[in-house]
Amino acid sequence: MCRRPTRLIAIGASTGGVEALVTVLSRFPANTPPTVVVQHMPQNFTGSFAARLDTLCAPSVAEAWDGAPLEQGRIYVAPGGATHLEVEWGAVRCVRLTPTPPVNRHRPSVDVAFHSIVRAGASGVVAALLTGMGRDGAEGLRAIRAAGGRTIAQDRATCVVFGMPRAAIEIGAVDVGTPLESIADEIFSNELATKEAI
C-alpha cells in the first residue's frame, strides 16, 4: 500500500530532549514539510533553544508565535511555560498558542499539540515521540495513528528516560521504534516518489 506524502511533522520530547532534538532536526532537509516541536522547557528558554537550532539546521527554526504560518522549510518550537501549541489546518494553516491550563502537568503539552493535529483534520502527518519522563504525548500519538498518520518512538537504548516512548508503545500508539540516530531517516522514509503540493 502506498503511503501519502508527508505534509506535517510533529515531534514531542522532555527529559534529554534538547540534545535528542539537535540530533534529529540537524538531519532535516532545507525543504522539510512544516514541523512543530514541543519540548518540555521553562519559559524564556525556548527562544534561545530555537535560535541555537536555527544555526545547526538547514530549515528555518524559530520559537512559535500565534499565527505562525505552517510552511515548507519551517520548524517551530513551542514557547515554554505560558501556552500550549495547537495546529490550525484549514484554509489557513498556522500555529495557535492557547493559554489553557497545563495537561499532564505540562504547558506546553505534547498531547495537546498532537490532539489538535487530529482535530484539525491534517493528512500526511508523521509524529515522533522522543526521550522523556511520564506519559505526555502517548494518547496524542495514538490519536494520530488512528487517524492514519505514521508514528515513531525513540528506542529504549538511546533514550535518557524511556518513559514517554514506553507509554506510547504500551498503548499501541507506535508504528516504528528506532534509535535516535535513525529517527530523521525514518520520518522521511514516508515520502512518495510522486510529490504532492504541501
Domain presence at residue 15: yes
Question: Is residue 16 over pLDDT 90?
Answer: yes
The chain-wide mean pLDDT, for the chain, equals 94
The pLDDT, as a whole number, for residue 196 is 34
* Domain span holding position 119: 8-188
CATH of the domain at 173: 3.40.50.180
22 CB-contact burial (10 Å; exposed 0-12 / middle 13-18 / buried 19+): middle
Q: pLDDT band at residue 4, thresholds of 50, 70 and 90? A: low
**Residue 73 within a domain:** yes
Q: Is residue 24 assigned to a domain?
A: yes
**Considering the domain boundaries, does residue 69 fall inside one?**
yes
- What is the C-alpha separation between 111 and 30, in angstroms, rounded? 27
Active site residues: 14, 40, 136
CA distance readout (Å), 116 to 47, 85, 87, 171? 23, 9, 6, 19
d(CA 68, CA 72): 12
pLDDT bucket at 46, cuts 50 / 70 / 90:
very high
- 80 against 193, higher pLDDT: 80
Nearest residue to 128 (alpha-carbon basis) of 23, 45, 57: 23
Amino acid code (one letter) for 74: R
Distance CA 3, CA 75 (A): 23
Q: What is the pLDDT of residues 151-178, one digit of tens each?
A: 999 999 999 999 999 999 999 999 999 9
Number of separate domains in the chain: 1
The pLDDT assigned to 51 comes to: 98
DSSP state letter for 103: B
**Residue indicated by cell numbers 500508539:** 173
Residue 120 lies in a domain: yes
The confidence score (pLDDT) of residue 6 equals: 85
* Structural domain contains residue 177: yes
User: Can you give the pLDDT at residue 193?
Assistant: 29
Whether 1 maps to a domain, the answer reads: no
Q: Is 21 helix (H, G, I), strand (E, B) or coil?
A: helix
Question: What is the spatial distance between Cα 7 and Cα 197, in angstroms, rounded to a whole number?
Answer: 8
Contact 183, 24 (CB under 8 A): yes
Residue 38 lies in a domain: yes
| Distance (Å, whole) CA 158 – CA 138 | 18
Helices (H) and strands (E) in the chain, counts: 6, 9
In this predicted structure, the answer to whether residue 1 has a pLDDT above a threshold of 70 is no
